[in-house]
Amino acid sequence: MGGVIQTILMEETDLIVRRIKNGTVIDHIDGGKGLQVLAALDISAEKGDVITIALNVPSGKLKKKDIIKVENKFLEQDDTNKLAVISPSATVNIIKNYQLIEKRRVSLPNE
């Protein structure tokens, strides 16, 4: 699984992932499940998606979490709900012009 990972090391203990101008940030993914999320949503570098991934990041609520940023791609509600099966704690943030426009919590899709 390829991707463009953009990070800047500040100090030994700090890691900053750059902000995105437009796109989707999937946050609070259960630690180690980020790659499953990418596969379930069919997001890949092979399709030209610019993807930033942080795996097993320390988190107060989850102990460890994954974060995915996908530039210039906006998830539909159906895509958001697919995440609930993989990571029920995930949130989806829609970003436009560096501003948070919408924040969604995932929920299981209706069958």
Instruction: State how far the alpha carbon of 22 is from the alpha carbons of 13, 25, 87, 100, 104, in Å.
Output: 28, 10, 23, 10, 16
46 within some domain = yes
111 domain-assigned:
no
- CATH code at 35? 3.30.70.140
Question: What per-residue confidence (pLDDT) applies to 21?
Answer: 95
* Cβ atoms of 53 and 34 closer than 8 Å: yes
pTM: 0.80
Backbone φ and ψ for 70, nearest 5 degrees, come out as -125, 115
For residues 83 and 106, the answer to whether their CB atoms sit within 8 Å is: yes
Which range marks the domain in which residue 85 is found? Answer: 17-105
pLDDT of the residue at 14:
52
pLDDT at 66: 93
Q: Is residue 9 part of a domain?
A: no
Helix, strand, or coil here: 18? coil
- Output the tens digit of pLDDT for each of the chain's 111 residues: 344 444 444 444 555 567 899 999 999 999 999 999 999 999 988 888 899 999 998 888 768 999 999 999 999 888 888 898 999 999 999 999 999 999 999 887 665
Helix (H) or strand (E) holding 69: strand 63-71
